[in-house]
Chain A
């Protein structure tokens, strides 16, 4: 029977908050910000903070799809390549085929989703391991992008198109940050307010039990990969707009940053637990670390070592908590 506890005391609520998977991440983020603001005077300026937000937006958006996939116990290594292909195809459709930007954007999203569909179908129907399928799919879209462009950046985009990557709302909020917030809001809704989200978590927890409960597991697993392709394409659109050219070699290594953001955000790499809020905090940690170390003049090579150590630390804590 459920005990009647309508009047939760403050301490109970605090305990509940501390138990949330993203709490530790958030605490870590605050500590990091505190350290950075002590060591660097420029860190806590609004200009710098907005800059950080803009810098993380591309990785943070890719990490949304990655969160869905990892929650189902999967992984998507193809996001960087899918992002590059979506970006170059969009650039091509505007520069070479003369499409209008809206159509071109839809085309890019379609290309990204299509590769998600291919990944998801191979994993669900052919029952191939996600890591292998998406490893192979790191090559195919990249190859197609290089094939079409001959390896060169594709420029000649209409100047109005730059608004997505370089524009500001009310002269203060960068458009990429705005897009990021919208993507996160939708993802939050999908994961927390729709049956879909429950199924995604449940599949990561025990796929067979979910299947025997009469739920179409394959459909939802495929959907997770489609979301991943879709968000990779969204980032591809922003990057293309920012650079005003389609870059076939864009996004190399981005899958690792996205996975890092998800794991730093407290999502279990084995699936089943985690949160989308955690992911954005994870992406922020990576961004602040990057930015702060830059401000302090730390060599980029050292920064990579730092990043690696922090990821190991995050996984250590999350596996310890699970026990």
Chain B
């Protein structure tokens, strides 16, 4: 009875792919079991089998020593397994309370007991130490807030096994801490958790045991206390990654400005945003979720309407009222959400890559030059090491890291001077991250300058030449990143501090 769940010889085949090959391991009652592996390793498939979405071709699952078979998610849920997916399952037009109680509304005398539900929701959120506006549709809340509602909803149903699929991928450091507290509380109450993650720090923070999958096969299950980061990375990729943040040679000239943003205000009451971007640098943009980073870059490229802004490119004033204008003057955005903003999932890899540069791929100035298009796409697929069976493959079938490379490839086919990356490595695995960083370096070598929004502080510190920290819609600090900046200093500015004293913070 020590094992709440036993996974025995699970095999799952998809047309042309062996997603899981004879995977066996156990989950102990009351533990936080971390499941780790690169994208495409089979983690999600396994979780979908445990939660009844897929049925295995082979193998058995035992829950409390009894064999179980889930034909659909409902059966898994009834048995006590619930899952929080990376993609939210909230109804965008309902508010937090309505979402939390969706399908199990409290009814009094035949009508909804709205006040009671709101009170209960408030209590739940208070326990998690989260402050969320309960009266607006969740679509108006930030990504992080939506995720918290999702998690709250799941933990409010009394479950014996909770599967968390990369819950921190979109959370800031503070929010992550809150989540970890919650996980610890749940564990004390006896909930067993399976925790899927890419973040190695998290493994040590909350994991009891760890199982690693690679290419659909079981690599090992270990006590976390017996592991260190290098060991885990070796398990994941089967090799050592020496250089998490590859270095680059380009020397930026402080006087060589590519992009100037002057007096940017989204609304009349907002404070002005002013900054410039030097040629060949990576300007990291740090800040908490909701600090206005994404909104700022969307304003720059004309995706959103603004109250006022002046943009200079290489000293010349330009008018940017739409993303098309931005492309015209050489600015491209690689948006925060690959799937909803970066890709056309039903179209092929080829068509996604070439969409922004079709105007340059014409013959007789009119017809599409499909031959040249194919050549350029093949070139980019090889250059970026995009793993796809063919360029005609629909992009939705690629892994997260490869999808991100497709978005990148799209912009490499255009002649941009400035590329803006919004959370470029969110939800992609360690190996693919390094490849993305290398590609950024390559772009720099080709004379492109980069603005990179990131919520991962090690990434901001490891990649940026300068770091711009935002707080509540304004720039709170711009720091030269020459190795002395700490994560604490960035957090200090991100939470509204104005003059950081490193000596003082060390004393504390």
Contacts and interface: CB of A to CB of B under 8 A. Distances in A.
A193 B366 CA distance: 9
B356 A209 contact: no
Nearest to A205: B344
A213 B367 contact: no
Interface string B463-502: 0000000000000000000000000000000000000000
A210 B347 CA distance: 12
A304 interface: no
Interface stretch (B128-136, B187-195, B328-336): B328-336
Interface string B346-375: 110001001110110110001110000000
Contacts of B388: 2
Interface in B150-171: none
B303 A211 contact: yes
A210 B358 contact: no
B409 to A, nearest CB: 12
A208 B378 contact: no
B358 to A, nearest CB: 4
B324 A208 contact: no
A198 B344 CA distance: 11
A216 interface: yes
A194 interface: yes
A302 interface: no
Interface stretch (B107-115, B223-231, B379-387): B379-387
Interface residues of A, number: 24
Interface residues of B, number: 42
B181 interface: no
A266 interface: no
A201 interface: yes
Nearest to A193: B367
Nearest to B361: A195
Given A1-B385, A212-B333, A205 B368 contact: no
Contacts of B322: 211, 216
Contact of A212 (B335, B367, B381, B386): B335
A206 B340 contact: yes
A297 interface: no
Contacts of B358: 195, 198-199
B390 A198 contact: no
Contacts of B351: 198, 201-202
Interface in A177-200: 193-195, 198-199
B410 interface: yes
A212 B354 CA distance: 14
Contacts of B326: 214
> Which of A194, A195, A213, A273 is most buried by chain B, counting CB atoms within 10 A of its CB?
A213
Nearest to B411: A213
A272 interface: yes
A202 B387 contact: no
B103 interface: no
A205 B362 contact: no
A17 interface: no
B379 to A, nearest CB: 11
Nearest to A213: B356
Nearest to B328: A214
A215 interface: yes
B355 A208 contact: no
A213 B366 CA distance: 20
B359 A195 contact: yes
Nearest to B382: A1
Contact of B327 (A208, A214, A273): A214
B236 interface: no
A91 to B, nearest CB: 36
A208 to B, nearest CB: 5
A175 to B, nearest CB: 29
Given A2-B390, A213-B323, A213-B356, A206 B345 contact: yes
20 contacts: A1-B386, A1-B387, A2-B378, A2-B389, A2-B390, A5-B390, A193-B367, A195-B359, A198-B351, A199-B358, A201-B351, A202-B351, A205-B345, A206-B340, A208-B341, A212-B335, A214-B332, A216-B322, A272-B344, A272-B347
Interface of B: 301, 303, 322-324, 326-328, 332-333, 335, 340-347, 351, 354-356, 358-359, 361-362, 366-368, 378, 381-382, 385-391, 410, 414
Interface of A: 1-3, 5, 193-195, 198-199, 201-202, 205-206, 208-216, 272-273
Given A2-B388, A195-B368, 9 more contacts: A1-B386, A5-B390, A194-B367, A198-B358, A213-B410, A214-B323, A214-B328, A216-B322, A272-B344
